[in-house]
Homo-oligomer: A and B are copies of this chain.
């Protein structure tokens, strides 16, 4: 359990409460351990990912992460900041290439979306984002001085066939288990790297005759998410486009404080974290929504610990708490009861 920064420790406390209850009641036998990461680790050890923290992560069946980063560390060189030296480093070193980001509209929160109700009712999209390649990690990269004395910044957007194939496989298989539709997003009319992406994904389609594959340019995908998001089932795309589209999709639901995510390696070992960030502006006030982290616990039990029943118990408990009208500030609407971070955690425990 890596609580991290900002609201991280607050939401992690609630997630731990919930996990401990289920661990005991369901005899899961999970051993929980904690470690510092991100800004908290920089403050304590001078580095965003101390060796001890990484060793614990590498040893664990699964990692639960709160969130990292905040203004306090924004003046450090980018390569040393919590995001890059902490989060991206764990993803890369553990090869957590398969990032699953659901965008689900909870029926109890139907009114919270900024979109018209009829466009989002029942929304259930899964964005599968490649997480350890693409322009995030491509070499060469940097800022260099040109002959005329001015500087130039450069990054490299790169994917090879195996990288594309392994993320597409994850997406095809998830589409088989869901609505049977997969949309691959690229910019194949401009970028060579995504021409290869499209070709490889297209080529794999014959192995998944039960999946209906389509391709869409990223600019159009951004438009379609806003116009008619329910047209999507599973979306697969690279690291950068996935970063942008998954945030837009999550926000469409109006309940980004509710959305968990998973980042998996080839063996199903994974890191689980809320879709939202460390929200430094509200940290320490006890008003953050712990449900995305609590639902990340459920996702973790399902995908990495093979405990689907325990996962379901948590998800049902969250649903009951919403039915009771309990809401943290971010999802509050008239007629509901506004509760604090810990009251929400306690309510889930009670519902369990």
> What is the interface of chain A, defined by CB distance below 8 A to chain B?
69, 78, 81, 83-84, 88, 114-116, 119, 135-136, 138, 141-143, 146, 150-162, 187-197, 218-220, 222-223, 225-228, 240-241, 243-248, 250-252, 256
Contact = CB atoms under 8 A, between A and B. Distances in A.
Give the secondary structure class of A's interface. Answer: helix
B240 A155 contact: no
B222 A244 contact: yes
B115 A151 contact: no
A286 B158 CA distance: 43
Given A222-B244, A251-B223, A157 B157 contact: yes
Given A78-B189, A157-B157, A196 B152 contact: yes
Nearest to A120: B114
A257 to B, nearest CB: 12
Contacts of A83: 189-190
A160 to B, nearest CB: 4
A227 B155 CA distance: 30
17 contacts: A69-B189, A78-B188, A78-B195, A114-B226, A136-B190, A136-B191, A141-B192, A150-B160, A153-B158, A153-B193, A154-B156, A218-B243, A219-B246, A223-B247, A223-B248, A223-B250, A248-B248
B252 A226 contact: yes
Closest 10 CB pairs of A and B: A153-B196, A153-B193, A152-B160, A222-B248, A223-B251, A219-B247, A154-B158, A150-B161, A155-B157, A223-B247
